Amino acid sequence: MKFWIMTLSSPRGSADIAARAEQAGWYGMMVVDSQNLSGDSYVSLTMAATGSSTLRLGTGVTNSVTRHAAVTAAAIASVNRVSNGRAVLGIGRGDSALAHLGRSPATLKSFERYVRHLKAYLSGDVVAFDECGISSDVAPPVDELELADAPRESGINWLRPDDRVPIEVASTGPKVISIAARHADRIMLTVGANKERVRWGMETARQAAQSAARDPDRLKFGAYVNLICSKDKEAALKLARGGTSLFARFSVMHGDVIGPTNDKSRDVLNEIHERYNMNEHGRADGSQTKAVTDEFIDEFSIVGDPDHCIERLQALHDLGINTFVINGLGYDTRSPEAKEAASLFEREVLAPLGD
């Protein structure tokens, strides 16, 4: 299994975090991309590259709105160049990064177009100017300059053939899962750690791939998982509450519960939707955490001692999940309990299971 640790973007701290994660045996490190809440993700990844030599590095996740696709492609390709081929681009439709600009997640149509453009740029292909999405109200066409010659299409000219960066799409609902199945190098399910929900996401992707004439057996899957490893169950549940509410919200973001669930969990998800305060995003004491029951945390997240964590992770691996981005064990916490949970996970779960 390949385990990625998820952290905030910290331009000054990322090199040390990456060095520690690499030493502990993590496969990779994902950084959040939310410009109003933390530092620049690509600066952080570049610094992380200087503090490590084998650790993979990626965005967890960027979005399709706050940067032009050419800018995103050039940024992650630059990280890939600095890190000698260790970069991965994780992308979704946007959440807090857009909320702090007064916007909801990107539309499905624009998101799929953006992912297509990313693939083109990162593969050394080109994008037509009329698809670049820059309004004439913002910048008129280049033809108005009456140049002797000018580019006729958009491509990143400095990339080398070996600069290709894998694209991973964070996916919760069936429509985004389908987009990922059509275009992504890896489908990163964000549906929780419940085995039935993960199985549903994988089957949804396989059906979409088949409809798009893409071999469903060649799809690669991963999962974002909120996990707290602790021998003190009560303390673990407390630590998991904020992250669980954050990730669970994706399954009810627009008011309709997504994926298979039971009545009790449906009630919790609906209450998370009603209570969610973006100004308290991810906080353990956020208003939305009051909707989260211990039973729901046990179902949606992985919380318990090392043996329990191994059992739950192995069950997902048996379904075909071999890449896990672990939220909840970041090194950017001041909580002694959270630091001990990270250390216990590294010693007794990561060590025996990690690639």
If you write DSSP's letter for every residue of 284-352 in order, what string do you get?
Answer: TT-GGGGG--HHHHHHHSEEE-HHHHHHHHHHHHHHTEEEEEEES--TT---HHHHHHHHHHIIIIIHH
pLDDT tens readout for residues 182-215: 999 999 999 999 999 999 999 999 999 999 999 9
Is 33 within the bounds of a domain? yes
Residue pair 240/303 in contact (Cβ under 8 Å)? The answer is yes
Is 309 within the bounds of a domain? no
Three-state DSSP class for residue 161: helix
Read off the tokens for 261. 């669930």
**CA 228 vs CA 131, 132, 327: distances in Å:** 44, 42, 8
A 10 A CB-CB count for 113 gives: 17
Is 291 within the bounds of a domain? no
**Residue type at 292 in one-letter notation:** V
Number of domains in the chain: 1
pLDDT tens readout for residues 258-303: 999 999 999 999 999 999 999 999 888 899 999 999 999 999 999 9
Residue pair 168/58 in contact (Cβ under 8 Å)? The answer is yes
**What confidence category does residue 333 fall into, taking pLDDT thresholds of 50, 70 and 90?**
confident
* Residue whose structure tokens are 């060095």: 19
Q: What's the pTM value of the predicted model, to 2 decimals?
A: 0.97
pLDDT tens readout for residues 114-136: 999 999 999 999 999 999 999 99
Q: Looking at the DSSP assignment, which residues form a beta bridge with residue 323?
A: 2, 222
Is 146 within the bounds of a domain? no
Q: CATH code at 66?
A: 3.20.20.30
Does 61 sit behind a cis peptide bond, omega within 30 degrees of 0 on the bond before it?
yes
Is 257 within the bounds of a domain? no
Is 168 within the bounds of a domain? yes
Q: Looking at the DSSP assignment, which residues form a beta bridge with residue 321?
A: 221
Domain span holding position 201: 2-139+153-231+321-353
